[in-house]
Structure 1
Amino acid sequence: MTLLGTLLRNQRARDARSAWNLPGLQGPDLLTVTSSRFEHGGTIPHEHAGKRVGGLDVSPDLTWSAPPPETTALLLAVEDLDAPILPTPAVHCLALIDPARLDVAGHLPPGALSARAPAAGVRILRSTVGRGYHGPEPLKGHGPHRYTFELFALTTEDGEALAHGGAPIDRARPRIVLSSITAPVTARGRLTGVAER
């Protein structure tokens, strides 16, 4: 696997086509997103990596500053900005969060993005590799990968109204959901961590 990673070292999706740069997800950068497990730009602890590389595949805790009062939903996208071969970053998790149903306002505990047992107020959508949180599993020898936890504050009465790709939002591919959002983004923020093998 090291040879493959080395051969693909210069092939990366980059973030030009990430959720953060999509036209429908533009808004003021008013949210501060943090985790007790790593600092912005820091290394994501191995326990949050995927099981195929020896991690536990447990999503890290996330905390964010208060969104605007008119916020009715939060969209969380976790992307690998450096995935090789793919034309867009790989979506490692996509979820809708109802801020009124969280146990603690502005906070998700570790493991809250599990497909089998998400935290209260978390609706897990499809990602590039399935459902729920999928931790970092970069190719060995490919170099550092940046993983972004992007949070968008939305004003919408109906989660189904977020995507217009023909399929219900729970079954729609992540890129369809991300590129077809029409609900206004009132605030957004992101946290970036790094993983490498």
Structure 2
Amino acid sequence: MLEKLPDVIGHALHDVRAGLDQLVFNTLGLRSGLAAIEVSSLAFVDHAPIPDRYTADGIGHSPPLQWAKVPADVASLVLLVEDADSPTPNPLVHAIVVDLPPQDGGIAEGALASSEHDGTGLHTGRNSYLQSAWLPPDPPPGHGVHRYAFQVFALKPGEAFSETPGRDELVDALRARAVASGLLIGTCERPDGSVKVGKTESVPFGMTPAAG
């Protein structure tokens, strides 16, 4: 969608960004005195480019994610993916997933439903386009590097989420129930001419690289 915007719009909005300080991970002060969850991915390392297959320039599947050091006796985990550099007052929400079992240790590639993919049936909330799905990274041409924050929160027991929770409902639950948090950032950029840099591929979660 945004890849079709004229480059001039991306340049004009270059300095208009939500900002890292507006991420839920940073606005709620959850890290103060709380345990730190380690979040990682087999597809990319922290602050490195997200491979094309997980963006709007590829098949657009959600990337594999792993987490460790989750505190004992938590009820569930929540995943929130936001674009810290969207030209909007708040970061653009790319995915909300609630009720993740703490013991699973992660999610596989394509676990989240997307426009052309069913996913694995996770309890998914609404992204900023009001879809209960994964919204692949799709920055405007010429707008510069966008930072996509994969935020994981551990929750103590409490009131159940609605069928398709949005950002506001999620934030309220985190304020009341979060006991740990973790963050992984991947980047994506679509420069002038709608050609994205950093085209890379990765081995899907749980698979072994082929020889040769």
TM over 0.5: yes
* Counterparts of 2:66 and 2:80, CA distance in 1: 14
2:8 corresponds to which of 3, 8, 14: 3
User: Match for residue 73 of structure 2?
Assistant: 70
User: Match for residue 125 of structure 1?
Assistant: 125
5+ residue gaps, structure 1: 161-168
* Distance of aligned partners of 1:124 and 1:172 in 2 relative to their CA distance in 1, 3 Å threshold: closer
* Counterparts of 1:7 and 1:110, CA distance in 2: 35
SS of residue in 1 equivalent to 2:71: coil
Q: Is the 8 A contact 2:78 2:153 kept in 1?
A: yes
Are 2:51 and 1:49 equivalent residues in the alignment?
Answer: no
Q: Is the 8 A contact 2:66 2:106 kept in 1?
A: yes
Offset of residue 21 of structure 1:
2.0
Q: Is the 8 A contact 1:108 1:119 kept in 2?
A: no
Q: Is the 8 A contact 1:24 1:179 kept in 2?
A: no
5+ residue gaps, structure 2: 1-5, 191-212
Q: Write out aligned runs for 1:1-197 (5 A).
A: 1-23=6-28, 25-26=30-31, 28-50=34-56, 54-84=57-87, 86-99=88-101, 105-114=104-113, 117-119=118-120, 122-129=122-129, 130-160=131-161, 169-174=162-167, 176-181=168-173, 182-197=175-190
Q: Which amino acid in structure 2 is aligned with residue 7 of structure 1?
A: A
Q: Is the 8 A contact 1:18 1:89 kept in 2?
A: yes
Q: Which amino acid in structure 2 is aligned with residue 76 of structure 1?
A: L
* Counterparts of 1:25 and 1:92, CA distance in 2: 21
Q: TM-score, normalised by structure 1?
A: 0.83
Q: Is the 8 A contact 1:93 1:133 kept in 2?
A: yes
Q: Is the 8 A contact 2:84 2:92 kept in 1?
A: yes
* Distance of aligned partners of 1:26 and 1:177 in 2 relative to their CA distance in 1, 3 Å threshold: farther
Offset of residue 171 of structure 1:
4.1
* Distance of aligned partners of 1:124 and 1:58 in 2 relative to their CA distance in 1, 3 Å threshold: same
SS of residue in 1 equivalent to 2:25: helix
Count of matched residue positions in the alignment of Structure 1 and Structure 2: 180
User: Match for residue 166 of structure 1?
Assistant: none
Percent identity, aligned pairs only, is 31
Extract structure 1 runs of 4+ deviating beyond 4 A. 24-27
